[in-house]
């Protein structure tokens, strides 16, 4: 089967829009459709015409796609109407998309309980709707809703539904595991049985991740013979999400040897496309995502690192470049010289193994880790540490003293409010400043006060945002004073994220150190030639 063509159908803009907390604008939809098109996806499902204003706006001015075909989603006709008179169906066809995908019930229980229609009428609804649409657009796809549950309950009836769609002219019959409860061995068996009735060149698969098996179910269905796979970018979708096309693609292409519209060259853009979606939606990218996550090729621990440096295949199942990702060496409390060296190379610093500055860095890392620092999640602080040893980091500003006041008091309206106010004394380029600002907590107030002075001098700080702030009390078992570790995650608002760390006996002081590193890192990055911000 190696080399055979598999067709990819993306439902990010329709099923993915059901994700809790996701809300696409028409502009988001157009940008994502274009990214899918450039990637080489065969079908881009744009939405459900007639279902909501966003989808209508999108189909009203659809993006120009060059490689992909645009699909409009809808339902088969309602019971008691003929297809030509069904307003829902008419709205879908009126969108003018070359491809129309219609969903219909194939589970007897569902037709009777959820729809309340007779079993024979349900089959008629499918056949007539598909035939009606097939005469009015270039290509019709039938989504067989609840197919696996339906087949387990009543295989004959489920197959009758599918056959009706096939005979009415559907290009693809897509078997949907709508509730997501079907396990891999069941998908394998049932798809195998359906292939006796529907040729693989007309059969597709659509899985949900409710048991954590959506990717495997999709791959096993393709191996069994289906040649059309539906899914979403980053596995967006309601409940636990849809099958994640970003995980499926590399396995299909690199490991199983199938041909898709996405070429191996296109595949090197996969990490970018995955992160683009998250940026569009303002979601935190999943660093542990297969293939494209920031941690997917991260190596911790001296033994692993030295093995990877001998030969990356020791601990990497594919070369990260194939999917546009990169190797990541983590500095952790198991940090040895080889970790630090590898991490330095990654940030573009080449030192000889016997360079005394390397020994100095290892010593500082170990000392700091003894104090409670953790560079594992704070790569930006590590880079600053290394570059400070090399003398690369100017003192962009220096804080001498600060004071933060958090006060809970009665406001003018007789309500109890809590306000934080920070006063900071600092030096920037030889000038001394005193500045004050309010915030929603002491760290936020400190940040605001600092930026009041710094942003006019360093305008790039205007884009800096703190997106996460984590506090951890270390060694609370110890009878002695607890030490606090603060991690701050920042972004420049253009897709770059970085993490910094501060440790101190005082939580505000620890926060201040992490904040200082975050600002310094952004300023440094703008001054180092030829490198983007790294996380």
> Does the protein bind its own copies through residue 287 (CB under 8 A)?
yes
Of the candidates 94, 119, 272, 315, which one interacts with its own copies according to CB under 8 A? 315
Distance in Å, CB of 88 to its own copies, minimum: 11
Q: Are 43 and 8 in contact (CB under 8 A)?
A: yes
The single residue listed with the structure tokens 């970003």 is 246
CB-nearer residue toward its own copies: 256 or 349: 256
Positive or negative, the CA dihedral 109, 110, 111, 113 is positive
Distance in Å, CB of 483 to its own copies, minimum: 9
Of the candidates 96, 261, 290, 495, which one interacts with its own copies according to CB under 8 A? 290
Of the candidates 255, 363, 398, 526, which one interacts with its own copies according to CB under 8 A? 255
CB-nearer residue toward its own copies: 171 or 497: 497
CB-nearer residue toward its own copies: 40 or 442: 442
How many residues touch its own copies under the rule CB under 8 A: the total is 117
Binding mask 410-449 for its own copies (x = CB under 8 A): x-----x-xxx-------------------xxxxx-----
Of the candidates 31, 117, 256, 364, which one interacts with its own copies according to CB under 8 A? 256
424 to each of 403, 460, 467, 490, 507, how far by Cα in Å? 6, 21, 22, 21, 17
Return d(Cα 135, Cα 169) in angstroms, integer: 9
Hey, which residues between 85 and 104 contact its own copies (CB under 8 A)? none
Residue spans of beta strands (DSSP E) within 277-430: 298-299, 328-329, 398-410, 416-428
Q: Are 404 and 422 in contact (CB under 8 A)?
A: yes
Hey, which residues between 350 and 379 contact its own copies (CB under 8 A)? 374, 376-377
CB-nearer residue toward its own copies: 104 or 241: 241
Q: What is the DSSP letter of 195?
A: T
The single residue listed with the structure tokens 């630090």 is 340
> Does the protein bind its own copies through residue 337 (CB under 8 A)?
no
Distance in Å, CB of 201 to its own copies, minimum: 21
Hey, which residues between 51 and 70 contact its own copies (CB under 8 A)? 51-52
State the pairing for strand pair 497-504/483-491. Answer: antiparallel
Contacts of 493 (CB under 8 A, 6+ apart): 463, 464, 465
Of the candidates 90, 276, 318, 528, which one interacts with its own copies according to CB under 8 A? 318
Of the candidates 14, 132, 228, 299, which one interacts with its own copies according to CB under 8 A? 299
Hey, which residues between 158 and 197 contact its own copies (CB under 8 A)? 178-185
Return d(Cα 500, Cα 511) in angstroms, integer: 10
Return d(Cα 298, Cα 257) in angstroms, integer: 26
Q: Are 9 and 40 in contact (CB under 8 A)?
A: no
């Amino acid at each position: 089967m190696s080399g055979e063509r598999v067709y990819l159908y993306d439902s990010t803009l329709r099923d993915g829009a059901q994700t809790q907390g996701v809300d696409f604008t028409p502009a988001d939809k157009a940008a994502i459709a274009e990214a899918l098109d450039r990637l080489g996806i065969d079908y881009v499902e744009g939405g459900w015409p007639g279902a909501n204003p966003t989808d209508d706006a999108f189909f009203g001015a659809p993006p120009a796609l060059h490689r992909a075909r645009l699909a409009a989603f809808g339902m088969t006709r309602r019971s008691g109407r003929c297809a030509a008179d069904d307003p829902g169906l008419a709205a879908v066809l009126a969108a003018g998309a070359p491809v129309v995908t219609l969903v219909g019930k194939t589970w007897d229980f569902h037709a009777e309980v959820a729809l309340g229609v007779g079993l024979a009428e349900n089959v008629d609804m499918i056949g007539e709707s598909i035939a009606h649409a097939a005469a009015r657009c270039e290509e019709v796809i039938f989504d067989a809703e609840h197919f696996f549950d339906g087949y387990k309950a009543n295989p004959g009836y489920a197959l009758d539904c599918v056959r009706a769609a096939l005979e009415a002219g559907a290009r693809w019959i897509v078997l949907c595991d709508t509730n997501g409860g079907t396990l891999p061995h069941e998908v394998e068996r049932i798809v195998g049985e359906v292939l006796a009735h529907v040729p693989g060149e007309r059969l597709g698969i659509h899985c949900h991740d409710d048991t954590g098996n959506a990717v495997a179910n999709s791959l096993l269905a393709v191996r069994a013979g289906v040649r059309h796979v539906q899914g979403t970018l980053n596995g967006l979708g309601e409940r636990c999400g849809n099958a994640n096309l970003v995980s499926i693609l590399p396995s299909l292409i690199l490991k199983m040897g199938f041909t898709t519209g996405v070429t191996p060259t296109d595949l090197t853009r996969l990490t970018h496309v995955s992160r683009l979606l998250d940026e569009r939606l303002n979601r935190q990218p999943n660093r542990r995502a297969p293939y494209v996550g920031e941690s997917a090729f991260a190596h911790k621990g001296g033994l692993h690192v030295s093995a990877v440096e001998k030969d990356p295949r020791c601990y990497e199942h594919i070369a990260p470049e194939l999917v546009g990702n990169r190797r990541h060496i983590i500095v952790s409390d198991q940090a040895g010289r080889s970790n630090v060296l590898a991490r330095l190379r990654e940030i573009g610093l080449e030192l000889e193994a016997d360079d005394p500055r390397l020994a100095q860095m290892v010593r500082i890392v170990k000392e700091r880790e003894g104090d409670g620092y953790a560079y594992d999640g704070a790569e930006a602080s590590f880079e600053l540490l290394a570059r400070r040893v090399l003398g690369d980091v100017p003192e962009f500003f220096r804080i001498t003293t600060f004071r933060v006041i958090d006060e809970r008091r009665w406001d003018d309206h007789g309500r109890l409010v809590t306000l934080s106010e920070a006063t900071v004394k600092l030096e920037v380029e030889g000038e001394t400043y005193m500045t004050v600002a309010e915030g929603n907590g002491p760290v936020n107030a400190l940040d605001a006060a600092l930026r009041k002075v710094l942003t006019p001098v360093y305008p790039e700080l205007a884009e800096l945002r703190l997106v996460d702030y984590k506090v951890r009390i270390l060694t609370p078992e110890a009878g002695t004073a607890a030490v606090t570790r603060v991690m701050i995650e920042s972004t420049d608002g253009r897709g770059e994220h970085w993490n910094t760390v501060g440790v101190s006996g005082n939580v505000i002081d620890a926060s201040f150190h992490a904040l200082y590193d975050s600002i310094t890192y952004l300023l440094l990055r703008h001054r180092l030639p030829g490198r983007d911000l790294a996380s």
